[in-house]
Amino acid sequence: MILTVTPNPSLDRAYEVPPLVRGRVLRAGGERVDPGGKGVGVSRAVAAAGVRTTAVLPLGGAPGILLAELLGAQGVDVTAVSIAGQTRSNIALTEPDGTLTKINSPGPALSPEEAALLLDTVRSAAAEAAWVACCGSLPRGIEPRWYADLAAQAHAAGARVALDAPGTALPGALAALPDLVTPDASGLAAAVGRPLPTLGDAVKAAEELRERGAGAVLASLGADGRLLVSAEGAFYGTAPAPVVRAAVGAGDASLAGFLIEGGTGPGALASALTHGEAAVRLPGSAMPTSADLRPDLVRITDHPPLDLQLADPGMP
């Protein structure tokens, strides 16, 4: 079973719109309402693949009730922690050329008691999990070290920990020895304090995170593909999508694919690339099923082209 933890979940409303023009009334050509938040996305993708998953979430108000109902309809078990605040709602606008504009609400503030209850709930639920995926931004009221505390609790329960944490939380969480961290290019650059203009620079940065406590680093390099650096070596892969419809949730689908295949080695990297590529061809934050996967598009090498110039070097 794969357990996910999303400290700041959301309802995601996605619209397909004509090219954005400020001050104009735009008519959407399509609309979706999906459960949102990085960990939620991972659980949805895991469930779509037919694997058991539980999502631990702080939920409040009518949006929280709807989010739990939507997840249940998609085969995700929900363990809710009731909070006084109201679960946030986010908006995503996708233009015909694939350009994505997102408006994310800050979400509710959690009290110290609610934050502690969320941590206790994870500790109890982790006893049945092979992996605990801790993902996304932290709500107001929770300090960055909360992710380190969560990783320690999950390890104590016997589960492996995958951490998709924001830049402010990642460095401190490394002391808790997460089995996997999954930064994007900007997060990887921020964690080492320098830009990463080439793939070789990204490999060195990932090795630094391993020296500081991460078991493995699965880095998203955007259009340049994905990089996996672990005790088994460095692996680089790409899976160019023939059509990009919406990028919302692609990273979550990718992490789900990686964990489904055991969470280690080039086979898991191939699964991550396959699921991520499939997700960008779907509307909104829809998650791929087996019928959507195109493993033939994946290319992986254990000899990364270190001089490859990255489109996103991270920090300016």
Q: Please tell me the class of the 2-301 domain.
A: alpha beta
* 316 residues of the chain, pLDDT tens digit each: 999 999 999 998 888 899 999 999 989 987 888 899 999 999 999 999 999 999 999 999 999 999 999 999 999 999 999 999 999 999 989 888 878 898 989 999 999 999 999 999 999 999 999 999 999 989 999 988 899 999 999 999 999 999 998 877 888 899 999 999 999 999 999 999 999 999 999 999 999 999 999 999 999 998 899 999 999 999 999 999 888 876 778 899 999 999 999 999 999 999 999 999 999 998 877 899 999 999 999 999 999 999 999 998 887 6
What is residue 316's predicted lDDT score, i.e. its pLDDT?
63
pTM beyond 0.95, yes or no: no
The predicted-structure confidence for 137-156, as pLDDT tens digits, reads as follows 899 999 888 999 999 999 99
Which residues form the catalytic set? 252
Give the other-Cβ count within 10 Å of 4's Cβ: 35
| pLDDT tens sequence across 8-40 | 999 988 888 999 999 999 899 878 888 999 999
Question: Rounded CA gap, 7 and 178, in Å?
Answer: 17
Residue with tokens 């680089």: 236
207: left (phi over 0), alpha (psi -120 to 50) or beta: alpha
Rounded CA gap, 164 and 181, in Å? Answer: 6
pLDDT at 147: 92
Q: Residue 206: which of 189, 222, 225, 186 has the closest Cα?
A: 189
Q: Cα(first)–Cα(last) distance of the chain, in Å?
A: 40
Q: If you search the block for the tokens 């931004």, which residue do you land on?
A: 137
Determine the pLDDT at residue 266: 97
C-beta of residue 229 within 8 angstroms of C-beta of residue 306: no
> How do residues 39-80 score in pLDDT, each as one tens digit?
999 999 999 999 999 999 999 999 999 999 999 999 999 999
For the chain, the structural domain boundaries read 2-301
Closest CA to 48 of 249, 316, 308: 249
Q: Assign 3-class secondary structure to the chain.
A: CEEEECCCCEEEEEEECCCCCCCCCCCCCEEEEEEECHHHHHHHHHHHCCCCEEEEEEECHHHHHHHHHHHHHCCCEEEEEECCCCCEEEEEEECCCCCEEEECCCCCECCHHHHHHHHHHHHHHHHHCCEEEEECCCCECCCCCHHHHHHHHHHHCCCEEEEECCCCCHHHHHHHCCCEECCEHHHHHHHHCCCCCEHHHHHHHHHHHHHCCCCCEEEECHHHCEEEEECCEEEEEECCCCCCCCCCCHHHHHHHHHHHCCCCHHHHHHHHHHHHHHHHCCCCCCCCCHHHCCHHHCEEECCCCCCCECCCCCCC
Instruction: Spell out the residues 6+ positions from residue 286 whose beta carbon is closer than 8 angstroms to its own.
Output: 32, 34, 249, 279
